[in-house]
Amino acid sequence: MAEWEKMQSGEWYDANFDRALLEARGQADQLCYDFNTARPGSPEQLAALRALLGTELPEGLTILAPVYFDYGTSTHLGKGVFVNHGCYFMDGGRIKIGDHVFIGPFCGFYTAGHPLNYSDRNQGLERALPITIGDNCWLGANVSVLQGVSIGSGCVVAAGSVVTKDLPDNCIAAGVPASVKKYIEQ
């Protein structure tokens, strides 16, 4: 099994030394640069974003520069998604963001985890677990979402929170680690 396939299936894979993954990240890095340095909303910026995500752009998608992706093609954004400045998508694992999600500035989505044993970690091993964000969510500034987490639809996550566990639909969560503070009547 190729390292890309291992990565996508949540198995341990060689993230640091596999030539194909290094090339894919290098290509994504170049496309991020092209997007981030282009005139906002220009045909060049939109072309870089389409190439980065590997698909047509969903209706109403807004991404403000700078933005960073490890691969791009593992991130799937819904209609009406707004991504504010400075966000990072560590998308070795799939990141799926639903429709009408507002993402505040400097948010990070981190699918990767490393072995606790340093000899394995020094070999470049990593495991990527998917992140899913439901429809109609709002993530405040500087929210971090860690590997394997699902956030239900209709959630609000307070600025500065670190989401380490799944959140149910229609909740307000805050803290480090984030916990449910109350529920929203939709």
Residue 115 has pLDDT above 90, yes or no: yes
Confidence class for position 67, pLDDT limits 50, 70, 90: very high
137-to-30, 33, 181 alpha-carbon distances in Å:
30, 28, 15
Confidence class for position 79, pLDDT limits 50, 70, 90: very high
Longest dimension (CA), the chain: 50
The Cα 92–Cα 48 span in angstroms is 19
* Average model confidence (pLDDT) across the chain: 97
Q: Which residue has tokens 């799926």?
A: 96
Range of the domain at 153: 3-183
Residue 33 has pLDDT above 90, yes or no: yes
Q: How many domains does the chain have?
A: 1
Q: What is the pTM of this model?
A: 0.96
Confidence class for position 47, pLDDT limits 50, 70, 90: very high
At residue 78, the pLDDT reads 98
Residue range 136-156, pLDDT digits in tens: 999 999 999 999 999 999 999
At residue 1, the pLDDT reads 85
- Domain harbouring 50, CATH code: 2.160.10.10
Burial state string for 25-60 with b = 16 or more CB within 10 A and e = fewer than 16? beebbebbebbeebeeeeeebeebbebbbeeeeeee
Helix (H) or strand (E) holding 60: none
Mean pLDDT of 159-176: 98
Question: Which of the following is catalytic: 76, 85, 100, 114?
Answer: 114
Residue 170 has pLDDT above 90, yes or no: yes
Catalytic annotation on 114?
yes
Contact call for residues 172 and 183 (beta carbons, < 8 A): yes
